[in-house]
Amino acid sequence: MRIFVFAALFLGVTAIAAAQTTAQWEYQGKDGPLNWGKLDPAYRACSKGNEQSPIEIRKAHLDKALKPIEFHYIAGPVTLENDGRTIVVHLDPGSYIMADGVRYELDRLEFNRPSETSVKGKLTEMGVHLIHKSADGKIAVIEVRLAEDRGAPNATLSTLWEHLPTAPRTSAKVTDMVNAGGLLPGDPGYWTYMGSLSTPPCTEGVRWFVFEQPVTISREQLRAFTDLFRVASRPLQDAHGRRIEANE
């Protein structure tokens, strides 16, 4: 009897674990964005959702009631992860933003190649998503478009790229003090709309804030990323008539 009960419990735990396991996805090939919705039932929103990201921004409605985002970022050590698709930066707790009266804690950074949001038909060479979560589970994504420039490299990116993990599924600890604010533009103007995570499971109900002003990076910084990832972004999604607002 004890053996039977143990076996039943083991099978039950195994079934739960299997149910929680989601399918592998990629940015290219048979497991790429066109097939995300078919890879796993948990990814259904990727193909069936009506508020998917990223989208193209051609015009926006000026909303004078929108206030600048308040950034409360602190410097600290970070961990860079090469997950086989892109570079993810994991940060210690403590940094947060205030947006629309909601406090969102900064969770991680994810880099894209090219940028995901298109502005009047144009993408920049790279982009970075600063992904935040509120205490009640709401998600806010701040997107900064990164544009190649022949001038000086971005100082924050220089610190990160010194420790760039080049092998898939490896990570590197950065003990230097890194402040994510170094990846933000000087102009606080932004566009905002309701969208989704731009990676599986493509969860909707995500508030997006896209800075209007790009941040420049050097050719060498761009090349360091593109040597690892030729494509690391999701194609544009149908806006389905969503309203895009601008704070200035």
pLDDT tens digits, residue range 127-144? 999 999 999 999 999 999
pLDDT of residue 48: 97
pLDDT of residue 151: 81
**pLDDT (mean) for 81-106:** 97
pLDDT of residue 64: 87
Statement: residue 18 has pLDDT above 60: no
Burial 220-231 (b: 16+ CB within 10 A, else e): ebbebbeebbeb
Q: Tell me the β-bridge partners of 105.
A: 96, 133
Statement: residue 114 has pLDDT above 50: yes
* pLDDT classification of 3: cutoffs 50, 70, 90: very low
Contact by Cβ (8 Å): 131, 44: no
Contact by Cβ (8 Å): 127, 115: yes
Domain map (residue ranges) of the chain: 50-246
On the question of a cis peptide bond just before residue 185, with omega within 30 degrees of 0, the verdict is: no
Which is higher by pLDDT, 5 or 196? 196
119 by Cβ neighbours in 10 Å (0-12 / 13-18 / 19+) ranks as middle
pLDDT of residue 192: 98
Q: What is the pTM of this model?
A: 0.90
Spatial separation of the C-alpha atoms in residues 144 and 127, rounded to whole Å: 6
pLDDT of residue 248: 74
* pLDDT classification of 21: cutoffs 50, 70, 90: low
Spatial separation of the C-alpha atoms in residues 61 and 114, rounded to whole Å: 26
**pLDDT (mean) for 142-167:** 96
**pLDDT (mean) for 188-205:** 98
**pLDDT (mean) for 59-77:** 95
Residues 6+ apart with CB under 8 A from 217: 125, 126, 146, 147, 148, 149, 153, 154, 157
pLDDT of residue 14: 40
Statement: residue 51 has pLDDT above 90: yes
Statement: residue 239 has pLDDT above 80: yes
Contact by Cβ (8 Å): 191, 48: no
* Token code pair at residue 196: 């989704």
**pLDDT (mean) for 104-129:** 98
pLDDT of residue 11: 41
Statement: residue 16 has pLDDT above 90: no
Q: Tell me the β-bridge partners of 135.
A: none
What average pLDDT does the structure give for the chain? Answer: 92
Percent of the residues in the chain that have a pLDDT greater than 70, as a whole number: 92
CATH of 50-246 among 3.40.50.300, 3.30.200.20, 3.10.200.10, 3.20.20.10:
3.10.200.10
Helix (H) or strand (E) holding 209, with range, is: strand 204-211
Give CA separation, 70 vs 67, 97, 102, in Å. 9, 5, 10
CB neighbours (10 Å) of residue 152?
10
Percent of the residues in the chain that have a pLDDT greater than 90, as a whole number: 89
**pLDDT (mean) for 168-187:** 97
